[in-house]
Structure 1
Amino acid sequence: MPALRLISFVSLFLLSLLSFSAIPRAAYAGPNDGLPKTNAALDRATPRRTMQGFLDAAHHGDYDLAANYLDLHAIPRIKQSTDGPELARKLAYVLDRKLAVDPDKLPDEAEAKDATAGNIIADDETVPITLARARFNDGVWRWLISRGTVAMIPSLYAAYGPSEWADRFPPWLTRTTFLGNALWQWLGLVLLGILGYVAARGIGALFIWLAQRFALRTKTTADNALVETARRPLRGVLFVVIVKQLLSELHLTASVEEAIHHIAYTWLVISVAWFVIRAISIGAEWAEERLPSGSQLEMKHRAVQTQLELLRRVASVVIVIVAIAVGLMQFEFVRNVGVSLLASAGVAGIALGLAAQKSLSGIIAGIQLSLSQPIRIGDQVVVEKETGFIEEINLTYVVARLWDERRLVIPMTRFLEQPFENWTRNTTEILGTVFLHVDFATPVDKLRVELRRICEASTNWDQRLCVMQVTDSTERRMILRCLVSAANASRAFDLRCEIRESLIAFMQTLDGGRYIGNPRTDIRLVQDEEPPPQKDGQRKLDLPV
């Protein structure tokens, strides 16, 4: 019996000893002993490869695989399969939003001494994101995200994770990810855009209504147009402000949030530039309306109108260029390029000047034309043997409306380098001529009297000049020139046609039409002339008698 008791006591002691030694081995195992086996290739030989593998797995939403890059020594083996992927998801969530980890900056050596990916501030304390070597059960040392960093994941997630209401979404909204963001975040971004647009329209309409109430109390109409013009740009500004204020609640990844900030900033610049350009246009229209009117001040009115139009276009181009520059300067690459260009400004300036010589000369010509004003809007000119009115003056070209409603587009430099006719440079008054080829026996005095009667009866004559002179003669005819005046070129043309028709009709009735050309006399005079010499073998043609 004593021997049996001794054997039982020894057996119970050994069993207790084995049980006691087995508890820690079952509860606390190696770095990843509790994780399910994976068929994916895990490269954890260096800090760089470990961090790259973790980020790739996390961004693909495979947090079970990402957990294999964490040192889970402090997690019981039975909980590693559940806590490991969750810790990996939370760490990836925080890194994507608060620390732009660049694996290429980590050492790619197995025997590296320092492997710190960066630091995150949490509760006024610096939390380093480090990697450390850990020994696995097979005796191989591998790099993992350190045990101290893993222990700080819950605190980091509490500080920078989503709001409590975000964790109440069903798993399919939180597990499904794209570009590092869960499905609920993308849906929230779409909903934020819709709500932001609706709120911007509502708030903008309220501001515009209040501004219109104040604008209606003033005598001028320019402020009314300015308020109405500000409606759409104001919506854009309000939309950007609302989205940027509420965007942080979605806890998007840093890359996606940065892209949205770039888009919002660009839209803000566009909205402001849009409003400034429209304000300049309204200011030009307001200044044009305040110009004195009247026939005597028409030249001054058109001169100022041309200057306002060109200055408005120049200002619009400058604002667009500045807006593009401001929008591009938000990108680091563009800023670096700008610094490089400034460093080599001499070579860049020469190259740019040669490449844009034509464009720059056209713009400079437009500015010069606005100051010297050889032409103005509404001037009647003769260019390229075409008569028309200046309809548009742009920075690089001019549009002339021809008499038959065609549009002639002329380069701006044409008016500064080559001569042209401007019939309304200083005044619209102009002289018109009518030539008549009449017989030598025609009584010129009677025609002068008839010309005076025609001019006095016409509404196109401005009563300044009405004369008839014999300016030339040929063997058979004398040439009469009727010189008349009119208020502008259009009236002069109509007056010339009216005089020509009336004088021809008068000559047909004067003395039975005897001064109208006699065909037989004309032919006889032609026959009396010396015929041109004929070449040998060329048949002579008989002229009809």
Structure 2
Amino acid sequence: MWEPWIEFAIAILICLAGALIVTIAVTLITKLAVRKVEWPKELVHRCRRPFRVFVLVIALWVAVGATFPDEDWKPGLSHLFLIVTIAVGTWLAISLIMFGTDQMLGRYRLDVPDNRVARRIRTQTLILRRLAIAIVVVIAIGSILLTFPQVQAIGASVLASAGIASIVAGLAAQSTLANMFAGIQLVFSEALRVDDVVVVEGEWGRVGEITLSYVVVNLWDERRLIVPCTYFTQQAFTNWTRRGSEILGTVELDLDWRVPVEGIRERLDEVLADTDLWDGRSKSVQVTDATGGHVQVRIVVSAANASLLWDLRCLVREELVAWARTSAPASLPVQRVELSQFATVADAEKADAPESTAPHPREGLFSGSEDADRRAAEFTAAIPIVRSDEDR
């Protein structure tokens, strides 16, 4: 009576031992095959658990199918092991996908001055990884469902009405599908990449993540702006790093007409020579406008990326403001007021008038007296007011 169960237990032990030997052998072969590279360690780290569980499930399934004593339970257990095998196989496949994409991403670093190619490869790899994982999961779920006879019967009717079902699903998921195709279009058209510097809705930031439905923009103040993928295919946006990370920036100063422009150029050369923020590509000082009593001086500088450019612009602005305040105070903006001709004539007549006819010091300009009317006419160049005797 106990002999079948003893045989079953022995078969399980043998299968477990075989699974252990297989996992150890595969690990050793992987490590010994390529000793001089690092990727086998990452492969073992990524796939060790799912591979061991997969081999263990296969070994137990073989033991149950070969020596399980109860024939009534054997079909159900075999079905259960089939489902578990599909699930664990999906886990292993996803681990392999993650390993492969991580190896691809590791070859292209973003912390280098010119990382346009790295950003393109990284963006496309991340999108392809998400697509591959989604496809593997959908296939696994479909495979598990097809192991049930009832679902297989339903599948025939579903295939018969596939046209109507596809139309209904397309209408129901129109916005989702639009975002998905927009995300794929963004990635493979290279209009947007991970780590690109963009201006969206008036907000400056870097693209942190691109998914099949939305884009995450990491703003400069550590906020996160979540934007649908369709926004970038339907709206205009600014991409500062479309062709490269190098970028130009301006610093504008409103100064007095007496500003020494050559002095600004000399001071700019000194500031740029003492900082590592400037990449040495471009610098210029130009007077771009002269209106409203001031001249507008524009300084153009260049940097390796947008972050360095921001710091460089702030540094140049601060140093030039300090230079203007200490070394060229005449260049500071001022407001000039010039007295009119009529006011000057009126003041001269006041000084020549006899003391007896001079207006009272407290008498206002438009107080209504005869002298006030005369002075008002001289000041405003207006037609003299003739008063009647009754008004007087």
Give the TM-score taking structure 1 as reference length: 0.56
Aligned to 1:215: 30
Separation in 2, partners of 1:391, 1:242: 44
Match of 1:339 in 2: 156
> Distance in 1 between the 2:41 and 2:237 partners?
42
| 2:171 equivalent to 1:354 | yes
User: Is the aligned partner of 1:251 residue 2:65?
Assistant: no
CA distance in 2, matches of 1:241, 1:414: 48
**Aligned residue type for 1:510:** S
The aligned residue for residue 115 of structure 2 is 298
- 2:21 pairs with 1:206: yes
Residues 132-171 of structure 1: matches in 2 within 5 Å?
Answer: 164-165=1-2
> CA offsets per residue over residues 11-39 of structure 1, 9 Å max, x none?
xxxxxxxxxxxxxxxxxxxxxxxxxxxxx
The reply on whether 1:516 has 2:354 as its aligned counterpart is: no
**Cα distance, 1:393 vs structure 2:** 1.8
Shift of 1:259: 4.3
Q: Which amino acid aligns with 2:186?
A: L
Letter in 2 for 1:441: R
Report the CA distance shift for 1:366/1:260 in structure 2 as closer, same or farther (over 3 A). farther
Cα separation, 2, equivalents of 1:292 and 1:470: 41
Give SS of 1:408's match: strand
Q: Tell me, which stretches of 5 or more residues in structure 2 are unaligned?
A: 339-392
Q: 1:231 to 1:464 in 2, by over 3 A?
A: closer
C-alpha distance in structure 2 between counterparts of 1:390 and 1:291, whole Å: 17
Matched, 1:465 2:285: no
Tell me the equivalent position of 1:229: 46
Distance 1:452 1:225, change over 3 A: closer
Aligned counterparts, 1:121-132, within 5 A: none
Give the alignment of 1:415-494 within 5 angstroms.
415-494=232-311
Aligned counterparts of 1:418 and 1:258: Cα–Cα separation in 2 = 58
Deviation, 1:242, is 3.9
Once residues 435 and 238 of structure 1 are traced to their aligned partners in structure 2, the CA distance between those partners, rounded to angstroms, is 68
Q: Give the total of aligned pairs.
A: 333
- Aligned mates of 2:314, 2:113 — CA distance in 1: 27
Distance in 1 (CA, whole Å) between partners of 2:85 and 2:69 is 21
Q: Structure 1: how far apart are the matches of 2:327 and 2:116?
A: 44
Counterpart check, 1:272 vs 2:64: no
Change (3 A) 1:241 1:211: closer
2:101–2:126 Cα contact (<8 Å) kept: yes
CA spacing shift, 1:202–1:301, aligned 2, 3 Å: farther
Q: Does structure 1 conserve the Cα–Cα contact (< 8 Å) formed by 2:15 and 2:60?
A: no
Relative to 1, partners in 2 of residues 1:469 and 1:199: Cα closer, same or farther, differing over 3 Å?
A: farther
Change (3 A) 1:442 1:228: closer
CA distance change for structure 1 residues 358 and 477 in 2, over 3 Å: closer, same or farther? same
Per the alignment, residue 221 of structure 2 pairs with 404
Contact 1:273–1:320 at 8 Å: present in 2 too?
A: yes
Hey, what's the Cα distance between the residues in 2 that align with 1:204 and 1:486? 58
Alignment of 1:371-386 (within 5 A): 371-386=188-203
For 1:404 and 1:316, how far apart are their aligned partners in 2?
A: 33
Over residues 323-355 of structure 1, what are the superposed CA-to-partner deviations in whole Å (9 max), with x where a residue is unaligned?
110011011222122211111111111011111
- 1:461 is displaced (CA, Å) by 1.2
SS in 2 for 1:413: helix
Take 2:110 and 2:313, find their aligned partners in 1: how far apart are those partners?
29
- Name the SS of the counterpart of 1:251 in structure 2: coil
Structure 1 residues 299 and 204: alpha-carbon distance in aligned structure 2, compared to 1, 3 A threshold: farther
Aligned partner (choices 89, 92, 100) of residue 283 of structure 1: 100
Within 5 Å, give how 1:100-111 maps onto structure 2: none
Corresponding residue for residue 117 of structure 1:
none
Structure 1: distance between partners of 2:51 and 2:313: 57
Please tell me the root mean square deviation across aligned C-alpha atoms, in Å.
3.0
User: How far apart in 1 are the matches of 2:95 and 2:40?
Assistant: 12
1:371 is displaced (CA, Å) by: 1.5
1:329 lines up with 2:146 in the alignment:
yes
1:408–1:293 distance in 2 versus 1, CA, 3 Å: closer
Task: Provide Cα deviations, 1:400-425, integer angstroms capped at 9, x if missing partner.
Answer: 22212222222222222211111111
Query: Greater RCO between the two (CA within 8 Å, min separation 6)?
Result: 2
Contact kept, 8 Å, 1:204 with 1:231, in 2: the verdict is no
Aligned ranges 1:86-105 → 2 under 5 Å: none
Q: 1:230 to 1:506 in 2, by over 3 A?
A: closer
| Gap change, CA 1:450 and 1:332, over 3 Å in 2 | same
Contact (CA 8 Å) 2:265, 2:285: kept in 1 or not?
Answer: yes
Which one has a bigger Cα radius of gyration? 1
- State the distance in 1 between where 2:175 and 2:310 align: 38
Conserved in 2, the CA contact under 8 Å of 1:378 and 1:391?
Answer: yes
Residue pair 2:123, 2:194 contacting (<8 A) in 1 also: yes
Gaps of 5+ in 1: 1-163, 168-184, 526-545
Q: Deviations over 1:221-250 (max 9, x none)?
A: 333333343332233333433443326634
Cα distance in 2 for partners of 1:402, 1:201 equals 53
Would you say the 8 A contact 1:306–1:377 is kept in 2? yes
Shift of 1:166: 8.0
In 1: Cα distance, 2:323 partner to 2:107 partner = 50
AA partner of residue 440 (structure 1)? W
* AA matched with 2:96: A
CA distance in structure 2 between the partners assigned to 1:434 and 1:202 by the alignment: 73
Other structure's SS at 2:218 match? strand
| Fraction of identical pairs, as percent | 35
**Once superposed, which parts of structure 1, at least 4 consecutive aligned residues long, lie more than 4 Å away?**
198-205, 290-297
Q: Specify whether residues 347 and 436 from structure 1 end up closer, same or farther in structure 2 by C-alpha distance, changes over 3 A only.
A: same
State the 1:200 CA deviation: 7.7
Pair 351,258 (structure 1): closer, same or farther in 2 beyond 3 Å: farther
CA 1:414–1:294: 2 relative to 1, 3 Å: closer
Code of the residue aligned with 2:68 in structure 1: it is E
Change (3 A) 1:407 1:200: farther
Q: 2-side partners of 1:294 and 1:406: how far apart?
A: 21
